[in-house]
Amino acid sequence: MVVTRNIVLLLLSITFVAPIVLFTDRLGTFKYPFAEQEFIEAVTAFVSAADSGHLNLLPQESSTVFKEPIGLVYTEDTSNTENLLHGLHFAKPGEHVSARVLSATNDEGQTKGENPIKLVTDGINQGNQNSYMVKADTTGDSVNGEDAIDVDDNDGKLAKSSDLVSETTDTKQEQEHIKSSSQVTQKEPILSEADKHNDQTPPDARVQQLKDQLIQARVYLSLQAVRSNPHLTRELRLRVKEVSRTLGDASKDSDLPRNANERMKAMEQTLMKGRQIQNDCAAAVKKLRAMLHSTEEQLHVHKKQTLFLTQLTAKTLPKGLHCLPLRLTTEYYSLNTSQQQFRNQQKLEDPRLYHYAIFSDNILATAVVVNSTVAHAKDTSKHVFHIVTDRLNYAAMRMWFLVNPPQKATIQVQNIEDFTWLNSSYSPVLKQLGSPSMIDFYFKTHRASSDSNLKFRNPKYLSILNHLRFYLPEIFPKLNKVLFLDDDIVVQKDLTGLWSIDLKGNVNGAVETCGERFHRFDRYLNFSNPLIAKNFDPRACGWAYGMNVFDLVQWKRQNITDVYHKWQKMNHDRQLWKLGTLPPGLITFWKRTFQLHRSWHVLGLGYNPNINQKEIERAAVIHYNGNMKPWLEISIPKFRGYWTKYVDYNLVYLRECNINP
């Protein structure tokens, strides 16, 4: 009996002591006993306190049995380490929590050094590094996969198997990785489109941005809230001066100085200060509208001034071109009679040759027409130039071509005063041009603003030289065909082919200008007048003066000069058309004009800077019709070279008169 009792007591002692010894030995093998004990107590409290909101990322364990203590818990922000579990417990769904859990658990049957929780977290870290760039661009309440611990409200308890957790988490990570990869793939074309868009950035993008900044700065300077801040006002004015100097005359980004970006950034910082002070959008909008209205009014005034000054410039003669005829006239009268004669005068009335008619008082312009024509002629000896000028420029025109003969071509210079048949009793237009009402129309400047088309007020229309084109048979009675050339054209190809064109019974061969909206009949003729409305079509195509082939045989047969005189008499009060030569030309040669190919004659170089370059290069004749003549400072720069290359600026007369390219 005693032996049995001793055995029972021994077994009870072993049963009581053995667990204590074993448990103490295992604690002695822990590397971080205090951290593990704190974590055990915290997890015990967490599990007993929380009925929902479990930590699904970690393997679930029973509250009464611990296979192994959990390792260290820490965050990237060490100041929040103590509150991590507390924060996890009270975190709301969708709330962002930044934490990372590491484990040192080594379950039996696992390969040495392999921790399922650590493998899971390492997989999360690796997967999120791949998808970080994609997720960083997204917005909303979603939790970042790298820094968050998922909370599943639908689960009532923690998972019992760490292997199950590992498989589930790995599956989620593979799905996230695939999704991230697809998002990156989808974004690649978008990025390439953006790069393509950047490649198409306008060449004046920064210039426009600087101009916008100037406008914003001026708006702020005009607002009371900003003006009441002296420091900001001074800073804004300084930035305006800096940006204005930076812009200068720049039209594209390449014209800007190197410090343009610095000035732009400085201005933007100052504007940000203005936005902080002035947050009343209504006041800014009101000011912008006032500025817009004022700018529109100024633009309207400047357009009117520009139109007037352009017309005035077109009417005037540059000092050098005024000097040139004076210098040439002096030299001409110093010559003896034999030296004043041109050669080959026997060719002047030969109908087998190529005859040109040029009516001008501009010596240099006439010289360019002759020089460019001769430069492209196949046989210059067959070309004859008939030049008619006024009394003031007659001697100078002769002297120029005596000193500068155009190779083997023949030159004739005539004085319009020698045409005794051209008088007011024969020519209605000559009588009208000398009337007081006509002179009043041209020279009374106080009425200029009432005329919507100032170009018809150019006093050149008072010159009978401009109307000689209607008297070609009288000037050249023995010729069959004449090519009429204006003095503001340049010849680029051989023109002899024009004489072989069959005009099919028409008198005038010209290039039509239907492509130009302002070259319709209703632009030049007054269709409110019954006489005009009855005889002409307002939408009929106009044609161009400047290079015209005239069949003088048909001219005489159809009595064209009489037709011209009849309409001129009916227009004595200028009720049918304004003055000029194109409106009566459209009427006189109505249904008597043969359409030439457009490549023979390209117009617009005196007003249109957008003419196609290929059209200019293909053209036989280019025409500087408009106010921007190539010999004026207001000429279009990119077209001026076609004209200046036929002027020898090294000639002594040009140097003495300071005529430069």
Q: pLDDT means per 10 residues in the chain (661 residues)?
A: 78 74 53 49 49 47 48 46 42 42 42 45 48 41 38 39 45 50 46 52 88 87 83 90 89 88 91 80 77 83 79 76 94 92 92 96 96 96 96 95 94 94 88 73 52 53 84 96 96 96 95 73 89 91 92 96 93 83 92 94 93 94 93 92 95 93 82
Measured between alpha carbons, how far is 84 from 93 in angstroms, rounded to an integer? Answer: 16
Cβ-proximal residues to 457 (8 Å cutoff; 6+ apart), any chain: 311, 441, 442, 448, 451
Instruction: Determine contact, residues 555/592, Cβ cutoff 8 Å.
Output: no
Instruction: Determine contact, residues 404/651, Cβ cutoff 8 Å.
Output: yes
**What crossing angle do the helices spanning 116-135 and 162-199 adopt, rounded to 10°?**
20
Handedness of CA 53, 55, 61, 64 (dihedral sign): negative
Measured between alpha carbons, how far is 193 from 199 in angstroms, rounded to an integer? Answer: 10
3-state secondary structure of 152: strand
In whole angstroms, how far apart are CA 646 and each of 364, 375, 387, 556, 565? 10, 9, 18, 36, 38
Domain boundaries, the chain: 204-314, 319-445+454-657
pLDDT at residue 173, as a whole number = 52
pLDDT at residue 516, as a whole number = 52
pLDDT at residue 150, as a whole number = 37
pLDDT at residue 659, as a whole number = 92
3-state secondary structure of 550: strand
Instruction: Determine contact, residues 374/503, Cβ cutoff 8 Å.
Output: no
pLDDT at residue 30, as a whole number = 46
Sequence-distant contacts of 280-284: CB under 8 A, at least 24 apart: 280/223, 280/225, 283/223, 283/224, 283/225, 284/219, 284/223
Measured between alpha carbons, how far is 473 from 276 in angstroms, rounded to an integer? Answer: 81
Measured between alpha carbons, how far is 557 from 260 in angstroms, rounded to an integer? Answer: 72
pLDDT at residue 139, as a whole number = 40
pLDDT at residue 12, as a whole number = 78
Stated pTM of the model: 0.59
Class of domain 319-445+454-657 as given by CATH: alpha beta
Instruction: Determine contact, residues 210/243, Cβ cutoff 8 Å.
Output: yes
